[in-house]
Structure 1
C-alpha cells in the first residue's frame, strides 16, 4: 500500500505538466485507470478536474 500511495503522489505531481491535462475526457479515463486508492482519485479530481 505504501508504494501505491507514493506512486499516486508522484503521478499527481507529474500530471500537472503533461499534455493530457488539457483533455478532460482523457484525463478522467487516465485517473480512473491509474489511481487505485479512493483518496488518490479524490485528490486528482479536486486538483485536476475541478480546481477551485
Structure 2
C-alpha cells in the first residue's frame, strides 16, 4: 500500500474536529463535548497501529 503515503503529506498537522461544527453563536465549545471528542480520538489512536503522522 505505497499509494497511501501521499495522503500523509496533505493531512493537516493539527487535529481538527472534522464534522463537529458548533453554531456560530456559540464560540466557546462545550468542554464536556470536547472531552468526549478527545476520548474518541484517543480510542481511535489506540485502535490504529500505524505510526501517528502528527
Q: TM-score, normalised to structure 2's length?
A: 0.35
Which structure carries more helix by proportion? 1
Which one has more relative contact order, counting CA pairs under 8 Å at least 6 apart? Answer: 2
Task: Give TM-score scaled by structure 1 length.
Answer: 0.36
The structure with the larger Rg is 2
